[in-house]
Structure 1
Amino acid sequence: MKKVEHIIVAVNHAVVAGLLAITFAIVFMNVVGRYGFGISFSWVEEAARHLMILASFCGAGLALREGRLVTIGIVSDMLPERFSVMLRWAVVLVMFAFMVVMCWLGVQFVQFGWNKETMATGIPRGIPYMSIPIGCGLFLIQLCFFAKRFVARDFEYDAGTPPTGEAS
């Protein structure tokens, strides 16, 4: 199971990195084209926006693993350990329920927007709307693998840096 989790995390990292790289490339290309050659592509702004939204949704599960999601820990810290653990499990259940609902509503949103076209690219709006169920589904997968460690506050830090930016 650890190997499957490792593969999912690695693929998720690669997807987010790829989306951000593509976004950078098309925006850079458009800036160079506009200011260097007087040529601008109308679809770049829309595509970059959709790619950034997809990257944000896909990266939410990774942010959870690294302890980079906003939390209010003072209540949990003030409670006795037993109640603190119960509260953190309740938070996991709320996150899970919220993401299940978001995933389901995201699918409904995709279906609703499928017959409408985006302004610049002319693709069905359901395609960029797929960011919601894809990102929420990835978050749910990450949460299932990471819930026990989330409760234990055993976060993974990127490059050894705590999420607050403080030295470890």
Structure 2
Amino acid sequence: MEAVIVEMNRILVAAVLAIVFAIVFMNVVGRYGFSHSYAWVEEAARHLMILGAFAGAGLALREGRLVAIVAVVDMVPAALARPIRWIIVAIMFAFMATMMWLGIRFVEFGWSKQTMSTGMSRGIPYLSIPIGCGLFLVQLLFFARRFVAEDFDVDGSDLDAGVASGRATDTEA
């Protein structure tokens, strides 16, 4: 289950970034090659980049790209490290759960309003917040036990190997 979710998350981020690249490239070629550009591209690219950033945050967590999560732990005695790691996990969970809840409220608030260039509901791009925070929470649940036990490499290779080999995770144990 973890491997499927991680792979779907990676595909989502890659697809979003590929779409951003394609539409921006198309617009640059159109503007400088044919003296024609599309007004909606800037808005769409901005919204998609926000989705990519939110959706990629959980992947950055699991791959050890959020280096600040271990900075405090490295400064304390070993006996305090494990409780501090659990506190860090709890703070991250509480923060992202709050962000997800507020993101849902933001989507509801913006649903009846339209964006400037595309005229679509503002609630649609605002969905990036609860979707990204939800993905982060799922990745955090997979990551928490390994983080507390210090059973991961900073580059994330151990985590991916654990996913590929089917090693038990928090949700399976």
- TM-score, length-scaled by structure 2: 0.86
**Local SS of the residue matching 1:115:** coil
Q: Distance in 1 between matches of 2:45 and 2:71?
A: 38
Q: Gaps (5+ residues) in structure 2?
A: 159-173
> SS at 1:150's partner residue?
helix
Structure 1 contact 65–155 (Cα < 8 Å) conserved: no
Calculate percent identity across the aligned residue pairs. Answer: 64
Q: Give the superposition deviation at 1:159.
A: 7.2
Residue of structure 2 in register with 1:164 after alignment: none
Partner residue in 2 for 1:163: none
Q: Which runs of no fewer than 5 residues in structure 1 stay unpaired? A: 161-168
Matched, 1:115 2:98: no
AA paired with 2:145? K
Contact 1:5 1:145 survives alignment (8 Å): yes
Match of 2:63 in 1: 66
Q: Secondary structure at the match of 1:62?
A: helix
Q: Could you list the runs of 4 or more consecutive aligned residues of structure 1 that deviate by over 6 angstroms after TM superposition?
A: none
Letter in 2 for 1:61: G
CA displacement 1:47-103 (0-9 Å, x = unmatched)? 000000000000000000111114064432232222111101100000000111000
Match of 1:130 in 2: 127
- Looking at structure 1, the residues matched to 82 and 73 of structure 2 have their Cα atoms a distance apart, in angstroms, of 8
* Superposed CA offset, 1:5-51 (max 9, x none): 00000010000000000000000000000000011000000000000
Query: For residue 76 of structure 2, what is the aligned residue in structure 1?
Result: 79
The one-letter amino acid paired with 2:155 is: Y
**Count of residues in Structure 1 that have an aligned counterpart in Structure 2:** 157
Contact residue 67 and residue 157 of structure 1 kept, 8 A: yes
Contact 2:64–2:156 under 8 Å retained in 1: no
Which residue pairs with 2:155 in the alignment?
A: 157
Which residue of structure 1 lines up, in the alignment, with residue 33 of structure 2? 36
CA distances 1:118-168 after superposition (whole Å, capped 9, x unpaired): 0000000000000000000000000011111122341463679xxxxxxxx
Task: State whether residues 149 and 155 of structure 1, in contact with CA within 8 Å, keep that contact through their aligned partners in structure 2.
Answer: no
Q: Is 138-147 or 70-79 further displaced after alignment?
A: 70-79
Contact 1:103-1:133 at 8 Å conserved across structures: yes
Aligned pairs (5 A) from 1:96-111? 96-111=93-108
Letter in 1 for 2:56: G
TM-score, normalising length from structure 1? 0.88
SS of 1:68's equivalent in the other structure is coil
Opposite residue 122 of structure 1, the aligned amino acid is G
1:44 partner amino acid: V
Retained in 1: the 8 A contact 2:63–2:157? no
Match of 1:90 among 69, 87, 91: 87
Contact 2:103–2:126 (CA under 8 A) maintained in structure 1: yes
Residue 157 of structure 1 aligns to which amino acid in structure 2? Answer: D
